Structure 1
Amino acid sequence: MVEVRARRAAAAVLAAAAVLGSGTACGVADAGEESVAGADRLVIGVNADQPGVGEGRGGGYEGFDIDVAKEIARRLGVTGANLAFKRVTSATREKMLGNGDVDLVVASYSVTPERKVDVSFAGPYYVAHQDILVRASDGAKIRSIHDLKGRRLCRVRGSVSFPRVHDEQGIAALPVEADGYADCLTDLVAGRLDAVSTDDLILAGLAGKASGSGQRLSVVNAPFTDEPYGVGIRKGDVAGCEAVNKAITEMYQERTAPALLKRWFGTSGLKITTTVPQFEGCV
Structure 2
Amino acid sequence: MSAQTEKVWLITGANSGIGRALAHYALSQGDKVIATVRSLSKFPESLKKAGGQPLILDLSASDADIRKAGEEALKIYGQVDVLVNNAGWGVVVPVEELDMDEVRASFQTLVFGPVALTQALLPHFRERRTGQILNVSSNGGFAGYGGWGAYSAAKAALDLFSDCLSHEVAPFNIRVLILMPGYFSTNFFQYAASVDKHKDSTVYTEPSQGFRTLEEIPKSHVAAGQIGDVEKLAARVYEVVHGTGMAKGLVEGQGGKRDWLRVPLGSDVGERMLGRIQTLKENAEVFEPIWRSTDVEPERLKYFPRG
Taking structure 1 as the reference length, the TM-score comes to 0.31
Structure number with higher relative contact order (C-alpha < 8 Å, ≥ 6 residues apart)? 1
The structure whose residues are more often strand, as a share, is 1
The structure whose residues are more often helix, as a share, is 2
Taking structure 2 as the reference length, the TM-score comes to 0.29
